[in-house]
């Protein structure tokens, strides 16, 4: 199983979570690549295998600057993504109220608009609740990988 984790981050929290997931590759019998979203367009989703979008939120419900190009490309270069299976790891802070997880939710909505299929629930990493987001994400990954495998 090939999994590509696309990372949107401002200060590195999402990168740290993605790295923790990558360390679990053997446990779930997968090969995991971790790639910052910088400079990516929709063609990044042509890679074989499944994807994990691992992104924080900045501003007021915005994606991090390094993720803006990919999000924009999902509009500007929209195409059918029916082959895409993805999971969503969304970092945020519930003290931001309505814009909680806005960055992740924007990706989720856009990918589903284009026919991509999200596997499993969103991995919600709330800075107000979680002191070890990496641990929570690893637990989520194990369950997510089982769901992904049952589809294959
Ligand atoms: C300037 C700023 C704005 C933020 N805006 C939001 C927001 O609108 N919604 C949210 O859920 N979290 C928001 N956050 C919280 C971050 O998403 C959270 O701290 C996350 O762990 C940062 O991860 P990163 O280092 O990978 O960017 C904001 C954080 C900062 C510093």
Nearest Cα residue to atom 27 of ligand 1: 10
135 CA distance to ligand 1 middle (Å): 19
> pLDDT (tens digit, 9 = 90+) per residue, 55-99?
999 999 999 999 999 999 999 999 999 999 999 999 999 999 999
What pLDDT score was predicted for residue 7? 98
Q: What is the mean pLDDT of residues 13-36?
A: 98
Q: How confident is the model at residue 11 (pLDDT cuts 50, 70, 90)?
A: very high
Nearest Cα residue to atom 5 of ligand 1: 58
Distance CA 141, CA 64 (A): 23
What pLDDT score was predicted for residue 42? 98
What pLDDT score was predicted for residue 45? 98
Q: State how far Cα 33 lies from the chain centre.
A: 13
Q: Does the predicted TM-score (pTM) go above 0.85?
A: yes
Nearest Cα residue to atom 30 of ligand 1: 58
Is residue 40 classed as helix, strand or coil in its secondary structure?
coil
CATH-assigned architecture of domain 7-145: 3-Layer(aba) Sandwich (3.40)
Q: Which one of 36, 57, 127 would you pick to mutate in the ligand 1 pocket, going by the greatest count of ligand atoms within 8 A of its CB?
A: 57
Contacts of 54 (CB under 8 A, 6+ apart): 5, 6, 7, 8, 14, 17, 18, 21, 89, 91
What pLDDT score was predicted for residue 151? 83
Counting from 1 in the atom list of ligand 1, the atom nearest the Cα of 10 is 27
């Amino acid at each position: 199983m090939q999994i590509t984790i696309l990372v949107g981050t401002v200060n590195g929290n999402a990168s740290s979570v993605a790295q923790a997931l990558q360390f679990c590759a053997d446990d779930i019998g997968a090969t995991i690549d971790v790639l910052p979203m910088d400079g990516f367009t929709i063609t990044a989703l042509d890679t074989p295998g499944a994807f994990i979008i691992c992104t924080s939120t900045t501003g007021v419900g915005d994606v991090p600057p390094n993720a803006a190009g990919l999000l924009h490309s999902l509009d500007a270069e929209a195409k059918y993504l029916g082959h895409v299976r993805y999971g969503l790891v969304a970092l945020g802070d519930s003290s931001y109220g309505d814009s909680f997880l806005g960055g992740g939710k924007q990706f989720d909505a856009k990918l589903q608009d284009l026919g991509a299929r999200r596997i499993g629930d969103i991995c919600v990493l709330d800075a107000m609740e979680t002191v070890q987001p990496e641990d929570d994400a690893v637990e989520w990954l194990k369950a997510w990988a089982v769901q992904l495998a049952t589809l294959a």
